[in-house]
Amino acid sequence: MLTVPPAASGGGGAAGPSAGDETTWHYLDTGDALAELGAPVVGTVLAVHGNPTWSYLWRSLVSASVAAAEAGRPAWRVVAVDQLEMGFSQRSGEHRTLARRVADLGAFTDALGLGRGDDEGGAGGRAPVVTIGHDWGGVISLGWAIDHPHLLAGVALLNTAVHQPAGTPIPAPLRLARARGVLEASAVATTAFLDTTLTLASPPLARSVKAAYRAPYRTANRRRGIGGFVRDIPVDAAHPSVPALTRIAAGVADLAVPGLMLWGPNDPIFSDRYLDDLTDRLPRADVHRFEGASHLIAEERPYAEAVLAWLEERVASPPASLVTPSSPAPRGAAEDHADAFRPIWHGIEARADDDDIAVIDMAGRSAGARGAAHEHEPRRVTWRQLATRVNDLAAGLHRLGVRRGDRVSVLVQPGPTLTAVLYACLRIGAVVVVADAGLGVSGLTRAVRGAWPDVIIGGRPGLAAARALGWPGIRIAAEHLPRYAASALGVSHSLRQVATLGAAAGAAVPAPPGPEHDAAILFTSGSTGPAKGVVYTHRQLAALRDGLAAHFDVTPATGLVTGFAPFALLGPALGTRSVTPDMDVSSPRTLTARAVAAALRASGARIVFLSPAAMRNVVETARELTPDDRRALERVRTFLSTGAPIGASLLARAAELMPNATPHTPYGMTECLLVTDVTLDGILSAADAPDEGVCVGTPIGEARVLVSALDGDGRATGAPSDVPGVLGELVVSAPHLKSHYDRLWITDREAVRGTGTIEPTEPAMPASRAERWHRTGDIGHLDEQGRVWVEGRVQHVIVTADGPVAPVGPEQAVESAEGVRRAAVVGVGPQGLRQAVAVVETESRAQRPQLADAELAARIRAKAPLPLAAVFVVPSLPTDIRHNSKIDRTRLAAWADATLAGRSPEAP
């Protein structure tokens, strides 16, 4: 406990003298524990709880800070207060406004001597202080921060807010809590408000934890502070705390210290709307959204270790620039055009006076994809038309207020419209958010809400989803809508109106963004967890274009047919004609051989780019091809399939349809779309090698691949190296490697773990290029020829009593058994003692999941290179949504484990 003199003023002198006598504060302080350890203290973390919690909220940070010091890591003193009227601090009976609480906190830290530097090392004799706050404690901690710039070293926040948008009501739960007759009854007279708050955690809190939070609030008198906090929420401009909140919101934007925001996106009170506002005010802050977490983030996720890691990396040893690799370049940063950089839209500008065809729209027009009796004339757009449309849209969007750095979610099917919108956004520096429908409704919703776009441009289905699911952003319709429909969908403009607006302004566009500005956020497939937003800069997109053009010899005369969404938009960037076949791009299996042939006839293209699932269906529908279709396919010179490892047999069957093409299967991921490449001949020549896994060839261009070896627990802990034959996680580098994950700072750290010491291949290589590495999550090895072999995912490694086993090698062996179509090998049982189980699809499809009959099980066990605890047969193996080809081994392992334990889980 600490006795504190009355606060001298109400928040930076803004509210005049405070009333009251001395106050008694309850607080947690690790100072004595660190002194006993003899640990030199780097600085102090001032932790401020919100409503209706207390300093108990910060217990994991308190214990983690002491444990870190015991382990020899930098020691941070943690001081976690119980605010007055809250927790076990004094009840004065006074109502405390926001300004008063900020002043109270300042009086507390003055009395504690925080920042004097008596036994702490700080610049100029002052110990650095980092604030951390949650809920309304976040606002109060920020108020303290802007009032103590001479002590401040950083700010950290868990779900909070500093600004309520004009015209937007406060969250519904708070409106209800403040309703006449409800506030006193729910927050003070009963424990309803407290109890409701304690239900917001995901997963639910343990009974003992709930009891601990209730401990200081046993009586109505001790709960008056809870009601006072609710009463102090500003609901309109006349509220007495509005001036203090306005002062804090403005002051936050002037903070020039490292920032960290850890967020629960499912919070019904402090939603992503408030996170987006804070990232605008603190654009250099590190952000991590814990997908699935809610309001009580400190109880739901391992936040304490993240805070300590951030303190070490960003505060105790800050980088030379506060603009970190995981932060966007500040809006308005100086452009860098000193080199020969050609932006991604250069291909369109270079052919702006060309009346040749640039983009062809086949949607709903080919005979094969929808079974029409005959083909209709495709829609063709020339380079001149495309360039004009791009400029008009760019100018129109700019006139509507879309600026560099604004996020634009594009929910439009591939074709000329999407192409024009995408390049218009890139031209003005808006960041394009690309999350395709292949993620499913829930996945797409998570992606859009996570990116929190400023603008949504979509067709009717996308706009309807945005309206129904509450997605953020101004809405622009890709098509002209009747007035009633536009109103119902919340649409403010159509693209036609935007283009007209731009043309009326003479298609005047602003100065282009620089190479290092963020350009796009591409979402991963979600096959290994919630889809992640991968941020690319303009330089990285240009590097991807250049690498693709060089490796596959793409010229203006080449042409490109693509049934793989991530590459559907690269044709204009490459300066070559592009066409998407008639298909549902969210379901690759809808592409048919006849649809590909129709696209080839319409475009004269010589390159075909498909996903594995699309290619499988093309092969399976080849019997429908006409002689004209086959002649069109014979003109193809290069054929590519990527998105998941692909077998030689399927590639060979596709090669029979395109006999004059060289089949390629590049390896990559959303974070680095092209890493290696191998041809069918390369796969066949590798077939005699003793290596297990899928050979994906050698690195493309400047790309590099190393391996971080697995330890006995199946973790990739080895230093990345190019030693052949070592099983481990693949670590990649390339000029077109992503910039960072969007609002996933912890994931970013893990993706570059242990890569900071990798030496560049050439001494003259820039340091920034040498440091840009990425842990792929894929496991595999390199062979003596430098070829890369993929053997599965890190999370799918089976850690047996004999050590870690990668799944792909055993799966390939099982698939060689007679009657097996596809196989997955997964682990069941305790970690370190897992047993392998085979789950297979058979040529004669099973009607339901079941144990394999004795004969099939015997054939499979005879082929498997390791003992199998069980063999199951299922109608089909579960796959990811986007590619329809990556087997969900995690789901299968959980199902097999439950089944063998005697439970009755749902079919996988």
Q: Is the pLDDT of residue 334 over 50?
A: no
Q: Is residue 672 part of a domain?
A: no
Q: Are residues 499 and 634 in the same domain?
A: yes
Q: Are 200 and 295 in contact (CB under 8 A)?
A: yes
Q: Is the pLDDT of residue 164 over 50?
A: yes
Q: Are 257 and 231 in contact (CB under 8 A)?
A: no
If you average pLDDT over residues 755-783, what whole number do you get? 72
> pLDDT band at 61, cuts 50/70/90?
very high
Distance separating alpha carbons of residues 599 and 610, to the nearest angstrom:
13
Measured CA to CA in angstroms, residue 337 lies from 385, 517, 821 at distances of 28, 12, 54
Q: Are residues 66 and 46 in the same domain?
A: yes
> pLDDT band at 174, cuts 50/70/90?
confident
| pLDDT at site 331 | 40
Per-residue pLDDT tens digits for 252-310: 999 999 999 999 999 999 989 899 999 999 999 999 999 999 999 999 999 999 999 99
* Beta carbons within 10 angstroms of residue 445's beta carbon: 18
> pLDDT band at 387, cuts 50/70/90?
very high
Phi then psi dihedrals of residue 542, to 5 deg: -65, -40
Q: Is the pLDDT higher at 748 or at 568?
A: 748
| pLDDT at site 769 | 46
Q: Are residues 508 and 399 in the same domain?
A: yes
Q: Strand 835-842 vs strand 820-828: parallel, antiparallel, or unpaired?
A: antiparallel
If you average pLDDT over residues 856-881, what whole number do you get? 88
Strand partners, 641: 610
From the list 719, 722, 730, the residue with the least C-alpha distance to 775 is 730
Q: Are 229 and 52 in contact (CB under 8 A)?
A: yes
Question: What is the H or E stretch that residue 144 is in?
Answer: helix 136-147
Q: Are residues 421 and 489 in the same domain?
A: yes
Q: Are residues 179 and 234 in the same domain?
A: yes
Distance separating alpha carbons of residues 204 and 64, to the nearest angstrom:
22
Q: Is residue 249 part of a domain?
A: yes
Q: Is the pLDDT of residue 374 over 50?
A: no
If you average pLDDT over residues 868-887, what whole number do you get? 77
Per-residue pLDDT tens digits for 664-700: 999 999 999 999 999 999 999 998 899 999 899 999 9
Q: Are residues 213 and 77 in the same domain?
A: yes
Q: Which residues contact 144 (CB under 8 A, 6 or more apart)?
A: 46, 48, 102, 105, 106, 109, 131
Q: Is the pLDDT of residue 536 over 60?
A: yes
Three-state DSSP at 607 gives strand
Per-residue pLDDT tens digits for 465-502: 888 877 788 999 999 999 999 999 999 999 999 999 99
Q: Are residues 240 and 282 in the same domain?
A: yes
Structure tokens at 727: 């099983």
CATH number reported for the structural domain that contains residue 549 in this entry: 3.40.50.12780
Q: Is the pLDDT of residue 879 over 90?
A: no
Q: Are residues 366 and 304 in the same domain?
A: no
Q: Are residues 818 and 859 in the same domain?
A: yes
Residue where the block lists tokens 């009580």: 296
Q: Are residues 80 and 33 in the same domain?
A: yes
At what angle are helices 59-70 and 303-310 packed, to 10 degrees?
50
CATH number reported for the structural domain that contains residue 61 in this entry: 3.40.50.1820
Distance separating alpha carbons of residues 135 and 194, to the nearest angstrom:
14
Phi then psi dihedrals of residue 374, to 5 deg: -155, 170
CATH number reported for the structural domain that contains residue 786 in this entry: 2.30.38.10
Q: Is residue 17 part of a domain?
A: no
Per-residue pLDDT tens digits for 705-761: 999 999 999 999 999 999 999 999 999 999 999 999 999 999 999 999 888 767 655
Q: Are residues 628 and 718 in the same domain?
A: no
The model's pTM is 0.89
Q: Is the pLDDT of residue 372 over 50?
A: no
Top-confidence range, 337-341, 653-657, 875-879: 653-657
Least confident range from 103-117, 384-398, 858-872: namely 103-117
Q: Are residues 831 and 872 in the same domain?
A: yes
| pLDDT at site 168 | 72
Q: Is residue 563 part of a domain?
A: yes
Q: Is residue 677 part of a domain?
A: no
Q: Is the pLDDT of residue 371 over 90?
A: no
| 546-577 burial code (b ≥16 CB/10 A, e <16) | bbbbeebebeeebbbbbbbbbbbbbbbbbbbb
Q: What is the chain's Cα-based Rg?
A: 30
Sheet of 286-289, strands arranged across: 27-29, 75-81, 41-48, 129-133, 152-158, 259-263, 286-289
Structure tokens at 198: 């304690």
Three-state DSSP at 582 gives coil
Phi then psi dihedrals of residue 372, to 5 deg: -65, 155
| pLDDT at site 393 | 97
Residue where the block lists tokens 């592409």: 591
Least confident range from 142-156, 183-197, 311-325: namely 311-325
| pLDDT at site 280 | 92
Quote the mean pLDDT of the chain: 87
User: What is the number of structural domains in the chain?
Assistant: 4
For the CA atoms of 141, 147, 153, 156, what is the dihedral angle to 10 degrees? 20
From the list 63, 667, 175, 594, the residue with the least C-alpha distance to 366 is 594
Domain that holds residue 634: 346-665
| 221-254 burial code (b ≥16 CB/10 A, e <16) | ebbbbbbbbbbbbbeeeebebebbbebbbebbee
Q: Is the pLDDT of residue 122 over 70?
A: no
Q: Is residue 789 part of a domain?
A: yes
Q: Which residues contact 67 (CB under 8 A, 6 or more apart)?
A: none
Distance separating alpha carbons of residues 293 and 299, to the nearest angstrom:
10
